[in-house]
Amino acid sequence: MTPPLTTLQSYFPLALVFLLAAGMAGVLLLLANVLGPRRPSKEKSLPFEFGSLPAPGTARERFDVKFYVVALLFIVFDIEAVFIYPWAVLLNDLGWPGYVTMAVFGFTLLVGLVYVWKKGALDWAAGKE
């Protein structure tokens, strides 16, 4: 019979995982520094964010709404994936009621996608004529 673990011994696996993660982060940073490319240029040094070229002025300028729409759509469809994965894992246990429920959920999201598509929210070239 093995003796029960003390409080400090029960935290050993957690400490080991933290040490391994810190060690891996250090090794990856070192490798990136040693093996990374070293050809700086003027073009590479320019800040580049969200597909727009930097413009002189204040940081309080307005963005095109399409950036926010795309971000919201990404969140919606990311949440869809979060719900579909556990459903797919438990599909045999859920049976037909679970299948029908997810079919209604998927149909609702499909209708939303078609609506957004028809409105032109996914069209980056719209309005740039």
Report the alpha-carbon distance of residue 33 to residue 26 in Å, rounded.
11
**Structural domain tally of the chain?**
1
Asked whether residue 118 is domain-assigned, the answer is yes
- Amino acid 82: pLDDT: 87
Asked whether residue 54 is domain-assigned, the answer is no
Report the alpha-carbon distance of residue 84 to residue 106 in Å, rounded.
9
- Amino acid 129: pLDDT: 43
- Amino acid 72: pLDDT: 83
Asked whether residue 26 is domain-assigned, the answer is no
Asked whether residue 20 is domain-assigned, the answer is no
- Amino acid 32: pLDDT: 92
Asked whether residue 51 is domain-assigned, the answer is no
- Amino acid 50: pLDDT: 63
Asked whether residue 58 is domain-assigned, the answer is no
- pTM given for the model: 0.45
- Amino acid 30: pLDDT: 96
- Amino acid 122: pLDDT: 74
- Amino acid 1: pLDDT: 66
> The domain that contains 93 carries what CATH number?
1.20.58.1610
Asked whether residue 44 is domain-assigned, the answer is no
Residues lower than pLDDT 70 in the chain? 1-2, 48-56, 63, 124-129
Asked whether residue 67 is domain-assigned, the answer is yes
Q: What length is written for the chain? A: 129
Q: Which residues pair with 49 in a beta bridge?
A: 52
User: Whole-angstrom distance between the N-terminal and C-terminal Cα of the chain?
Assistant: 79
Range of the domain at 107: 63-129
Q: What share of the chain is helix, strand, coil (3-state, %, to 5)?
A: 65, 0, 30
| Contact status, residue 87 vs residue 98, Cβ threshold 8 Å | yes
